[in-house]
Each structure stands twice: as structure tokens, then as C-alpha cells.
Amino acid sequence: MPKSNIVFAFSAVALIASVGIASAQQQQKKKVTKEEAWSLCTAEVSVIPSDQHSQRYARGAACMKKYGFKI
């Protein structure tokens, strides 16, 4: 087996392993509580003028859904 094939195989295995580790770390992240998600989303929506109710509601609902909650 040529040396270049061994290097290629090793780099492919290393790449696959690093992707697996990164996805496992993402899954182990601490889940945000509903109160924390609400405060984060309130801060995000506060830049929209208060007279644009439907946009504020839609963006707030999308933000809460991003954290896994429904409003």
C-alpha cells in the first residue's frame, strides 16, 4: 500500500472522528430553561418598533421555537 493512501485514509478517519465528537458535544449542551429563552428572545425582539405587532410576535415565536418552546 503506497504511503499516500495510508495518509489519506488516516486523515479521512480523523475528519470523521472530529465531526462525531463535535456533534456529541452539541447534544450535551445544557438546555435553556423557558425563562432564560424568554429573556433572550425578548432582547432579540426589542429592536423591532412596538407598532409592528405581527412582526414582533412572529419573530418572538420563531426565537422561542429555536430553543424548543411554544408560546
Check whether residue 39 and residue 25 sit in a common domain.
Answer: no
pLDDT of residue 41: 94
Which residue range is the domain that position 40 belongs to?
31-71
Same domain, 40 and 54: yes
Q: Are residues 36 and 69 in the same domain?
A: yes
Q: Output DSSP code: residue 1.
A: -
Whether residue 43 has pLDDT greater than 90? yes
The mean pLDDT of the chain is: 77
How would you classify residue 48: left for phi > 0, otherwise alpha for psi between -120 and 50, otherwise beta?
Answer: beta
Q: Are residues 25 and 35 in the same domain?
A: no
Rounded Cα gap, residues 45 and 22, in angstroms: 30
Say whether both 67 and 39 belong to one domain: yes
- What is the predicted pLDDT for the residue at 39? 95
Mean pLDDT confidence for 19-34:
65
Tell me if 16 sits within 8 A of 8, measured CB to CB.
no
Based on the structure, what is the number of domains in the chain? Answer: 2
Please tell me the pTM assigned to this model. Answer: 0.56
Predicted confidence (pLDDT) at residue 31 exceeds the cutoff of 80: yes
Do 40 and 22 lie in one domain? The reply is no
| Cβ–Cβ < 8 Å for 67, 37 | yes
